[in-house]
Amino acid sequence: MRKKWFSVLAVSLIVATALTGCMGKQSSDGGGNANSGSGASSSKTKTITLKVMGLTPKDTEAVKTIVGDYQAGHPGVQVDFQIPPDNGAALLKTRFAAGDAPDIFYLSPADIPAWSEKLADLSNEPWAKHVLPEGIRNITVDGKKLGFPLQIEGNGIVYNKDLFAKAGITNVPVTLTELKQTAEKLKAAGIQPFGEAWKNWGFLMHLFGVTFAHEQDENGFIDQLNKGTKQIKDLSNINNFFALLDLTDDYGFGKDSIAYDFTQQQKDFASGKMAMIKQGTWYTAPLLKQNPNLNMGLFAVPLSDNASETKLMVASTSNFVINKSSEHLEESKKFLNWLHDNGQKYLVETLKVAPVFDDLNASQIGPLHKDMNTYIKAGKTYDNFGTELWPSGFNTDISKPLQAYIAGVATKDQTVKQLQDIWTQRLNK
Amino acid sequence: MNKQIYRKSLVYIAFVGPMLILFLLFIFLPFIRSIIYSFQDWNGINSHTHWVGWKNYRNVLTDTDFARTISFTLKYVLATVIGLNVLGLILAVALNVGLKSRNLLRTAFFLPTVMGTVIIGFIWNFIITRLFPQIGELTGIGILHSSWLALPKYAFWAIIIVTVWHTLGYYMIIYLAGLQGLSHELMEAAEIDGAGRIKRFWSIVLPLIRPSITICLFLSIINGFKSFDINYSLTMGGPYGTTESISYQIFQDAFSKDLFSYASAKAVIFFLILTLFSVVQVAILKRKEVEA
């Protein structure tokens, strides 16, 4: 009898702990603000924790250095820096929904408008006046600067200089016709000209973005697309876009390119299997890791036969933003200020990114950045990738019709119509 | 007497309670939330949402992408259910005889099951895109020359092959357990009565392992419908969306395309489809089990 009572007691104890465990979590989630508010006033030597989320797993070591140095110089501040393993967007939404929103987080330019109501206005921060012209547009919503642009990237065609030399090509092509001739020459020399990874939707997005960046009045055109007075087929370079897409496949992997992904591409390009890939400065580290002696360069995508339109797309591609309702708004701003003040050390040398500030210098990062800087100095740049003002979801969705086009199961006209349908659908949902 | 009833119910609560609480917190509440979301226009970010009535559901029903994923998922379920159960049963029967290496073989066939699906997706990605063409070149088998993940028909079979290879061991173990529970007396009696191997298998073994069949069919159907990680890691839904499973598309809608409410509506419809299938299937197989 006694034994039985004992076991009943034990089990109910377990239940009770489980219950209180769950309830405790609930209440601390719900009343988080009130608790820490009173805690802050009662203790003088408070330790605050800045919750930061962003960057990618390759930055793990760099983040350790940055966080360590910041904490050393700022007693009383703990930095809890989470690097999302894969899908950052999913994690970010989950943390907001769970009431565990980070103070500082990381957004791509296309996401800033959707998140804008949650973001603090950073227009009056000391670093704001140093942002390069190429970085301003992507962080600005309704005239307010909402982001701390972390890095500027150049989007164009990466080429292997040794292979170009082998084929006797001395100048990079500046028109679509020249690009085709270049491909012919490479082919004649027994070199595969292109090798595109059209399995990844991100690269198809980049390529289609070129068409928008080349539009004379891009914002106006997108306005009209949204109103329905213009259509995708009215893009001035829509035919050239398909010509370019065909070119990358006819002189590349053909239909198989839709099964070819970026890991294979990096490996093959670094080992000299092909001469050109439609990529950008973000490929520097992975390519040089595969082959430190790779002699490569970057040139602007020639989308038309008008050479003056061939400019490199250069824009800030990732930004730190601050949660407007953060408990540590001022401390978060201080962290970003510190990151800018010590930018040469931490952004350029530790994180190895090309900063978007005119008081920092990043010519040493790699050959692709060197070419990008040449374009910037010559003023031959577009300040966006053409993709930033698309309705959300358009970027991922268009990969399907474009892949179908590459596979040859849809014609150009059908594809254009489908692209238009996706645009309309995405506006209405 | 009263005291005993009280005590008994206390024990019930003690055992069922924790699980019930976890179920309510992690399954039931989110489920109710997603039903609520499916009638709103939340994008996963905004603080303000509006009620939109049946709009999301109307859009889902006219969405050709969703129709395509449903038809893909149904085909996928059909192929994997047949593959897993037929092959699983054959393997179980083969490894139930007194082979010397059977323990080693059982382990070998079960091994893929314990590996992570995402890793398997990446490994097979490499095998299919790199190794297949090389094997094709060496052996002259034409089918291995094509780029499997670029062609919808082949990509479909690539997913089936990888799924079956990955989870086969699990079903094999369940069938094996069923086979080992058979009584020797029945088999001996049948043998004495002159029943051959095949006759014995059809008339004695199969009816007796029906509980195993029920559970294997049930699991393979449900797992087939919920398939997500292989699609994510092997084909990314491609080529051009032809291998997008329902779960994968819902995930994409909710987290990449900022259509949280729309994805919730899809999830609710998906839930209804799944419920329908499982109820019908369990009802049919359970009835047969009782007869046998």
Check if B270 contacts A (Cβ < 8 Å).
no
pLDDT of residue A32: 34
pLDDT at B195 (0 to 100):
81
Q: How far is A94 from chain B (nearest CA, A)?
A: 9
Q: What is the ipTM of this complex?
A: 0.71
Residue B84 has pLDDT above 90, yes or no: yes
Mean pLDDT, to the nearest integer, of B185-202?
Answer: 85
Residue A189, class by beta-carbon neighbours within 10 Å (0-12 exposed, 13-18 middle, 19+ buried)? middle
What is the CATH class of B60-291? Answer: mainly alpha
Tens place of pLDDT for every residue, chain A, 429 residues?
A: 455 665 655 556 555 555 544 444 333 333 333 333 333 343 445 788 999 998 888 788 889 999 999 999 888 898 999 998 777 888 888 888 888 899 999 888 878 888 888 899 999 888 988 888 878 888 888 888 999 998 888 999 999 999 999 999 999 999 999 999 999 999 999 999 999 999 888 899 999 999 999 998 888 999 999 998 999 999 999 999 999 999 999 999 988 888 888 888 999 999 999 999 999 998 988 898 899 999 999 999 999 999 999 999 998 888 899 999 888 988 899 999 999 998 888 888 888 888 888 888 776 778 898 899 889 888 899 988 988 888 878 888 899 899 999 999 899 999 999 999 999 888 876
For chain A, the straight-line distance linking the first and the last C-alpha, in angstroms and rounded, comes to 65
The pLDDT value recorded for residue A39 is 38
Name the residue facing B252 among A396, A409, A426 (closest C-beta).
A396
Predicted local distance difference test score (pLDDT) of residue A2: 54
Interatomic CA distance for residues B216 and B231, integer angstroms = 22
Expressed in percent and rounded to 5, the helix, strand and coil fractions of chain B are 80, 0, 20
Please list every residue in chain B whose beta carbon sits closer than 8 Å to the beta carbon of residue A245.
Answer: none
Contact criterion met (CB < 8 Å) for B239 and A397 = no
CA nearest B150 in A: which residue? A259
User: Which chain B positions have a beta carbon within 8 Å of A201's beta carbon?
Assistant: 236
> How many angstroms separate the CA of residue A8 from the nearest CA in chain B?
7
Length of chain A (residues): 429
Q: How far apart are CA A301 and CA A158, in angstroms?
A: 10
**Chain B residues within 8 A of A392 when measuring between CB atoms:** 43, 257-259
Q: Please check whether residue B29 touches A, CB under 8 A.
A: no
CB A102 within 8 A of CB A95: yes
Instruction: Give the pLDDT confidence score for residue A7 in this predicted structure.
Output: 62
Contact A429 B239 (CB under 8 A): no
Q: What is the distance between the alpha carbons of residues A150 and A135, in angstroms, rounded to a whole number?
A: 9
In chain B, positions 72-101, which contact chain A (CB-CB < 8 Å)?
none
Using CB atoms, which residue from A19, A117, A393 is nearest to B259?
A393
Q: Which residue has the tokens 């699990």?
A: B170
**For testing the chain B interface, which of A118, A199, A200, A396 should be mutated: the one with the most B CBs within 10 Å?**
A199
* Amino acid in position B154: Y
The minimum CA-CA distance between A331 and chain B, rounded to whole Å, is 24
Q: How far is A417 from chain B (nearest CA, A)?
A: 15
Taking one residue from A and the other from B, the number of pairs with CB-CB distance under 8 angstroms is 107
Q: What's the pLDDT at A24? A: 40
Q: Tell me which residue has tokens 């000209």.
A: A193
Residues of B in contact with A261 (CB under 8 A): 125
Closest partner CB to B129 (pick from A15, A264, A401): A264
CA atoms within 13 A on the CB side of A218: 17
Q: Which of B10, B15, B62, B147 has the most A C-beta neighbours within 10 Å, making it the best mutation to test the interface with A?
A: B147
* A117, A396, A407 member nearest B239 (Cβ): A407
pLDDT of residue A8: 57
Given this model, what pLDDT does residue A30 score? 35
Chain A partners of B59 at a C-beta cutoff of 8 Å? 429
Chain A CB contacts of B47 below 8 Å? 117-118
A interface with B, Cβ–Cβ < 8 A, is 4, 8, 11-12, 14-15, 18-19, 22, 87, 89-90, 93, 96-97, 114-115, 117-118, 199-201, 255-261, 264, 392-393, 396-397, 399-404, 407, 409, 426, 429
Q: List the single best residue of A258, A325, A427, A428 to mutate versus B (max B Cβ within 10 A).
A: A258
Topology given in CATH for the domain delimited by A154-315+369-428: D-Maltodextrin-Binding Protein; domain 2 (3.40.190)
Q: Give the pLDDT band of residue B289 (cuts 50, 70, 90).
A: low
Please, which pLDDT band fits residue B210 given cuts at 50, 70 and 90?
confident
Q: Residue B109's closest CA among B129, B89, B131?
A: B89
Residue A11 or residue B236, greater confidence: B236
In this complex, which of B7, B241, B253 lies closest to A8 when CB atoms are compared?
Answer: B7
| Residue A313 distance to chain B (closest CA, Å) | 24
Three-state DSSP at A192 gives: strand
pLDDT of residue B186: 84
The reported pTM is 0.77
Give pLDDT tens digits for B138-147: 887 777 777 7
Burial A213-239 (b: 16+ CB within 10 A, else e): bbbeebeebbeebeeeeebbeebebbe
Does B281 touch chain A if contact means CB atoms closer than 8 Å?
A: no
Helix or strand (DSSP H, E) at A315: strand A312-322
**Under a CB-based contact definition with an 8 Å cutoff, are residues B173 and B255 in contact?**
no
Where b means 16+ CB within 10 Å and e means fewer, B267-277 reads bbbbeeeeeeb
pLDDT at site A16: 56
- How far, in whole angstroms, is CA B259 from its chain's centroid? 26
CB contact under 8 A, B149 and A259: yes
Backbone angles phi, psi at B187, to 5 degrees: -65, -40
Most confidently modeled range among A87-91, B28-32, B282-286: B28-32
Summarize pLDDT for B88-102 with one digit per residue, the tens.
Answer: 999 998 888 877 888
Bridge partners of residue A276, in order along the sequence: A159, A194
CA distance A51 to A229: 45
- Tell me which H or E stretch contains A317: strand A312-322
pLDDT number for residue A36:
38
Contact criterion met (CB < 8 Å) for A392 and B44: no
Domain with CATH 3.40.190.10 in chain A: 47-151+316-365, 154-315+369-428
Question: Taking a C-beta distance cutoff of 8 angstroms, is the pair A299, A178 a contact?
Answer: no
- In DSSP notation, B65-115 reads HHHHHHHHHHHHHHHHHHHHHHHHHHHHHHTTS--TTHHHHHHHHHGGGGS
Q: Which CATH architecture has domain A47-151+316-365?
A: 3-Layer(aba) Sandwich (3.40)
pLDDT at A134: 78
User: Do B240 and A403 lie within an 8 Å CB cutoff?
Assistant: yes
Q: Which value, in Å, is the radius of gyration of the alpha carbons in chain B? A: 24
